[in-house]
Amino acid sequence: MTTQVIVLNGGSSAGKSRIARCLQDVLPQPWLTFGTDDFVEALPPAMQGSDAGIEFAPDGGVRVGAEFRAIEAAWIAGIVAMVGAGARVVVDEVFLGGAESQGRWRSALGDLPTLWVGVRCDAAVAAAREAARGDRVAGMAASQAELVHRGVTYDIEVDTTHTEAMTCAKTIAGYVGNRT
């Protein structure tokens, strides 16, 4: 089966978004990219910083509530519907719940041919990137570096600690195509 979905999972500032953009450059067909940052930015402001929505703690921790999960389920279903309509999609995700988060995606994706990619980065390197970006809560990268991978199974893993996004994308692209 030809891969229709690539799920990139990694902590904040691990390099997932850059890899997703590079995949668009190296894969022969057009691929759309959607990320958890896109989803969070699309939320109403009232859901950001609320118990029902998403809260970012001063130490970089992230907590999500019931309304967030309900809207997230609709977001995931929308992406799956696009794939069902023929789009190829790269998903840039942060599995805060580890295996449980992957389970939500697996359930929604069903039999769609999906490539699961772990994007790792040393916590100190990710924290330095986070500080340089200036658009993240300090501590998020370090707290998520290992947390997001707990219990998650992958088809392939890449590590951006010392490897450029384009090199990682080319490695991932080698796994895309006809898979059984």
17 by Cβ neighbours in 10 Å (0-12 / 13-18 / 19+) ranks as: buried
Helix axes 16-26, 165-173, angle to 10 degrees: 60
Distance CA(171)–CA(79), nearest Å, equals: 24
Whether the CA torsion 154, 105, 34, 143 is positive or negative: it is negative
Nearest residue to 20 (alpha-carbon basis) of 145, 125, 172: 172
Q: State the catalytic residues.
A: 37
Distance CA(58)–CA(137), nearest Å, equals: 7
Q: Are strands 54-56 and 89-93 parallel, antiparallel or unpaired?
A: unpaired
Nearest residue to 40 (alpha-carbon basis) of 6, 72, 78: 72
- What contacts 103, CB < 8 A, 6 or more positions away? none
